């Protein structure tokens, strides 16, 4: 299994989106597709990601798009989410597990446990265990890595977005450690676009290095791919018109200390990552 080591490279996490209602329009579970067809489509996508250089594959089976910008979307039961995600996780782990780590993107402890049993080695929880503390317990029991992402229902920050995100993530880290996850297996994510206006997200991106330092240098995951803030900065560009903007944000995030970037367009963004790493991580 590939060891997650920090500081020598930027890890690229490719998004394997199984939801039919993703904001970015890349969901693989389109109406009428059978489980076998979905698994084949996910494998094809993952093979391409790994061939391009991605070492993390993030499987998600419920849309987490922010309701304040994209409207309410149907909640998925744990049973339905697991039925969609776990066969894909198992297939990816079986074929590509020697070349990449498989991550499960879920806020539900039972789904996390099933995915970890099927071969995932990382839990990516966009609510950092606040919706269901069993995601933390599942990661602890499996000895898995755990991504703690900042999130909130409303984009309101009386004390300022930066200070509140730092405070919230510090508390999430301490709760995860108390729940049995070793600090060495924790990864923090400021949640670009989640419970944040574009202006909030820009401030967080501008202050990423400061944020990482404030969180004790914990490994930092940044996900800007195709997000609304990129579209806003490009004058209203649609999700499929945000590649160059995403690449710019990835380069700047790496310069600020990002350890993982989570992206849709792996092959294109890998070029940005390689150049950024070559400059940022240069040693005489």
Structure tokens at 137: 């317990």
Q: Is 152 left (phi over 0), alpha (psi -120 to 50) or beta?
A: beta
> Predicted confidence band at 23 (pLDDT cuts at 50, 70, 90)?
low
Measured CA angle at 169 (ends 219, 214), to 5 deg: 65
Structure tokens at 272: 């940005």
**pLDDT number for residue 112:** 98
Query: Is 227 considered catalytic here?
Result: yes
> Predicted confidence band at 74 (pLDDT cuts at 50, 70, 90)?
low
**pLDDT number for residue 228:** 95
Q: Which of 113, 152, 227, 228 is catalytic?
A: 227
CB neighbourhood size of 176 (10 A): 26
Query: Across residues 208-237, what is the average pLDDT?
Result: 98
**pLDDT number for residue 196:** 97
| Three-state DSSP class for residue 269 | helix
**pLDDT number for residue 72:** 53
- Contacts by 93-97, CB closer than 8 A, 24 or more apart: 93/118, 93/119, 93/120, 94/119, 95/43, 95/47, 96/46, 96/47, 96/50, 96/57, 97/1
Q: Give the torsion through C-alpha atoms of 238, 242, 245, 246, to 10 deg.
A: 130
> Predicted confidence band at 21 (pLDDT cuts at 50, 70, 90)?
low
pLDDT above 70: residue 69: no
Q: Which of 65, 101, 212, 262 is catalytic?
A: 262
pTM of the model: 0.94
Query: Is 262 considered catalytic here?
Result: yes
pLDDT above 90: residue 26: no
Report the C-alpha gap between 6 and 259 in whole angstroms.
7
pLDDT digits over 170-216, tens only? 999 999 999 999 999 999 999 999 999 999 999 999 999 999 999 99
pLDDT above 90: residue 15: yes
Query: Across residues 278-283, what is the average pLDDT?
Result: 96
pLDDT digits over 232-279, tens only? 999 999 999 999 999 999 999 999 999 999 999 999 999 999 999 999
Q: How far is CA 36 from the centre of its chain?
A: 25
DSSP character string of 87-116: HHHHHHHHHHTTT-EEEEE-S-HHHHHHHH
Nearest one of 215, 203, 225 to 24, comparing CA atoms = 225
**pLDDT number for residue 63:** 76
Structure tokens at 196: 């944040």
Q: Give the strand pairing for 122-125 and 101-105.
A: parallel
The mean of the pLDDT values for the chain is 94
pLDDT digits over 99-122, tens only? 999 999 999 999 999 999 999 999
Beta strands in 61-216 (DSSP E): 101-105, 122-125, 145-149, 186-189
């Amino acid at each position: 299994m590939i060891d997650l080591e920090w500081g020598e490279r930027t890890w690229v996490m490719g998004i394997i989106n199984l939801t039919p209602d993703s904001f970015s329009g890349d969901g693989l579970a389109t109406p009428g597709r059978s489980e076998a067809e979905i698994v084949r489509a996910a494998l094809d996508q993952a093979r391409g990601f790994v061939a391009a250089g991605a070492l993390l594959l993030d499987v998600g089976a419920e849309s987490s798009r922010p309701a304040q910008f994209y409207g309410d979307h149907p909640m998925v039961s744990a049973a339905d989410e697991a039925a969609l995600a776990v066969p894909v996780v198992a297939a990816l782990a079986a074929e590509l597990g020697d070349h990449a780590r498989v991550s499960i993107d879920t806020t539900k402890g039972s789904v996390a446990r099933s995915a970890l049993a099927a071969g995932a080695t990382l839990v990516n929880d966009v609510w950092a265990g606040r919706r269901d503390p069993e995601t933390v317990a599942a990661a602890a029991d499996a000895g898995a890595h755990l991504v703690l992402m900042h999130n909130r229902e409303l984009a309101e920050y009386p004390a300022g977005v930066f200070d509140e995100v730092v405070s919230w993530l510090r508390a999430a880290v301490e709760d995860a450690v108390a729940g049995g996850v070793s600090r060495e297996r924790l990864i923090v994510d400021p949640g670009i676009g989640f419970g944040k206006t574009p202006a909030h997200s820009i401030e967080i991106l501008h202050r990423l290095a400061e944020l990482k330092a404030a969180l004790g240098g914990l490994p930092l995951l940044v996900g800007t791919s195709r997000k609304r803030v990129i579209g806003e900065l490009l004058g209203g560009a649609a999700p499929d018109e945000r590649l160059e903007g995403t690449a710019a944000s990835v380069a700047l995030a790496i310069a600020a200390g990002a350890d993982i970037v989570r992206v849709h367009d792996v092959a294109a963004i890998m070029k940005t990552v390689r150049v950024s790493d070559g400059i940022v991580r240069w040693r005489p």
